[in-house]
């Protein structure tokens, strides 16, 4: 074979010496291209597609998880609002019950107070009547003794002494009523 002439360009070691080397190089390049196109590129394409599917699936999972989290947050907020509403209702019910209980306690205290006052008045009236009765007896005895000393005779006659005491006490009550009016 004849060496190829390049017309003054020096290709160095790339310059084939024979034309058959050029055709063999082109043929081998085509064979390598065919093997790469039919065997290697499909494997790369499949790997690329799998990887793209994994990424897309991950994105879908992330979006689903985000949607689930948003739904859980909405449910939590709804439950929180319901709990707040229920707590408010419970507070209002407690306030109403406290007001009713306070009213009942106040009413019971007023009734008890009125009962105690009435009992105290009755007791005071009974003690007053008892003291008045005792004082009448003592005053009667003292008045009879004093009257006996003034008159100079003994007023030991019970009936006469009793009338004198009654008359004296009636006059004393009349004077007390006149001064208080």
The pLDDT-based confidence of 13 (bands split at 50, 70, 90) is: confident
Unique residue bearing structure tokens 């690329």? 48
pLDDT given at position 141: 74
- In-domain check, residue 2: no
Unique residue bearing structure tokens 């394409």? 45
- In-domain check, residue 118: yes
CA nearest neighbour of 83 among 97, 68, 70, 75: 75
Specify the number of domains making up the chain: 1
- In-domain check, residue 5: no
- In-domain check, residue 12: no
- In-domain check, residue 49: yes
Its domain, for residue 126, covers 22-170
- Contact (Cβ atoms closer than 8 angstroms) between residue 165 and residue 144: yes
- Contact (Cβ atoms closer than 8 angstroms) between residue 149 and residue 142: no
CA distance 126 to 133: 11
pLDDT given at position 171: 81
- In-domain check, residue 45: yes
- In-domain check, residue 161: yes
Q: Which two tokens stand for residue 134?
A: 């005792």
- Give tens-digit pLDDT for 89-101: 999 999 999 999 9
- In-domain check, residue 15: no
pLDDT given at position 42: 94
CA distance 6 to 95: 109
What's the pTM?
0.39
- Give tens-digit pLDDT for 18-31: 888 889 989 999 99
């Amino acid at each position: 074979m004849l060496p190829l002439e390049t017309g003054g360009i020096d290709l160095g070691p790339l310059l084939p010496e024979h034309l058959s080397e050029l055709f063999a190089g082109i043929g081998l390049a085509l064979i390598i291209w065919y093997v790469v196109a039919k065997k290697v590129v499909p494997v790369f394409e499949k790997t690329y597609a799998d990887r793209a599917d994994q990424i897309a699936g991950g994105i879908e999972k992330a979006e689903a998880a985000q949607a689930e989290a948003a739904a859980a947050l909405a449910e939590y907020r709804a439950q929180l609002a319901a709990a707040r509403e229920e707590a408010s209702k419970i507070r209002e019910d407690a306030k109403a019950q406290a007001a009713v209980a306070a009213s009942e306690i106040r009413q019971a205290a007023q009734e008890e107070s009125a009962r105690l006052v009435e009992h105290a008045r009755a007791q005071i009236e009974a003690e007053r009547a008892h003291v008045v009765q005792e004082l009448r007896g003592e005053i009667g005895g003292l008045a009879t003794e004093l009257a006996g000393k003034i008159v100079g005779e003994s007023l030991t006659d019970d009936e006469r002494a009793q009338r004198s005491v009654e008359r004296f006490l009636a006059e004393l009550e009349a004077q007390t009523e006149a001064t208080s009016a």
